[in-house]
A and B are shown apart, each in its own frame.
Chain A
Amino acid sequence: MSAPLFSIVTPVYDPPLEVFQETFASVLAQELPDWEWVLVDDASPSPQVRDWIREQAATDDRIRLVERADNGHIVRATNDGVEAARGEFLAFVDHDDLLTPDALAVMARHIADQPDVDYLYSDEDKADADGTLHSPFRKPDWSPERLRGQMYTSHLSVMRTSLVREVGGLREGYDGSQDHDLALRVSERARRVVHVARVLYHWRAIAGSAAADIGAKPYATIAGQRAVQDQLDRLGIRGRVEQGAEPGRYVIQRDLDPLVRVSIVIPTLGSSALVFGERRVLVEETVRSALTRTDHDDVEVVVVHDTPTPPEVLERLREIAGDKLVLVEFDKPFNFSEKCNVGALHATGERLVFLNDDVEVISERWLENLVGPLDEPDVGLTGAKLYFSDSSIQHAGHGYWNKHYHHPFRFRTRQDPGPFGELAVNREVTGVTAACAAVRREVFVAIGGFTEALPSNFNDVDFCYKIAHHGLRTVWVANCELFHFESQTRDGTVEAWERHFVVRRWGVPDVDRYTPPGLAAPMLDPHRVLDVQLHETSRTSGRRRGRRSPEA
Chain B
Amino acid sequence: MGDEQQGQATGLVTGDAAAAGLAQRVEELERELLRARQAALVSRDHVVGIEAEIGRQNADILRLTADLRRVSARAARLASVKKAQQKRIVELRSRLETVRKRNAALTSRVQDLETARPSLARRVARRLRGRAR
Contacts and interface: CB of A to CB of B under 8 A. Distances in A.
A504 B42 CA distance: 18
A505 B46 CA distance: 10
B51 A449 contact: no
Nearest to A450: B45
Interface in B75-100: none
A299 to B, nearest CB: 22
A507 interface: yes
A448 B52 contact: no
Interface in B40-91: 41-49, 51-53, 55-56, 59-60
A511 interface: no
A452 B45 contact: yes
Interface in A400-454: 445-453
Interface residues of A, number: 21
Contacts of A451: 45, 49
Given A448-B44, A507-B60, 11 more contacts: A338-B38, A342-B38, A445-B41, A448-B43, A448-B48, A453-B49, A465-B52, A466-B45, A469-B48, A505-B49, A507-B59
15 contacts: A338-B38, A341-B38, A346-B34, A446-B44, A447-B45, A447-B48, A448-B41, A448-B47, A448-B49, A449-B41, A449-B44, A449-B45, A466-B52, A469-B48, A507-B56
A216 interface: no
Contact of A341 (B41, B46, B51): B41
A399 B37 CA distance: 32
A506 interface: yes
Contacts of B41: 341, 345, 445, 448-449
A260 B45 CA distance: 26
Contacts of B38: 338, 341-342, 345
Nearest to A338: B38
Interface of A: 338, 341-342, 345-346, 445-453, 465-466, 469, 504-507
A469 B47 CA distance: 12
A401 to B, nearest CB: 17
Contacts of B51: 469
Which bucket holds chain B's interface residue count? 10 to 19
Contacts of A445: 41, 44
A168 to B, nearest CB: 41
Contacts of B53: 504-505
Contacts of B60: 507
Interface in B17-47: 34, 37-38, 41-47
A465 B41 CA distance: 17
Contacts of A507: 56, 59-60
A434 to B, nearest CB: 14
A447 B47 CA distance: 9
B59 A448 contact: no
A534 B57 CA distance: 46
Contacts of B55: 469
Nearest to A447: B48
Contacts of A448: 41-49
A505 B49 CA distance: 6
A128 to B, nearest CB: 41
B23 to A, nearest CB: 18
B48 to A, nearest CB: 5
Nearest to B42: A452
Given A345-B34, A451-B49, A466-B48, A506 B43 contact: no
B33 to A, nearest CB: 9
B60 to A, nearest CB: 7
Contacts of A506: 52, 56
> 4 closest pairs, A vs B, by CB?
A448-B45, A448-B44, A505-B52, A449-B41
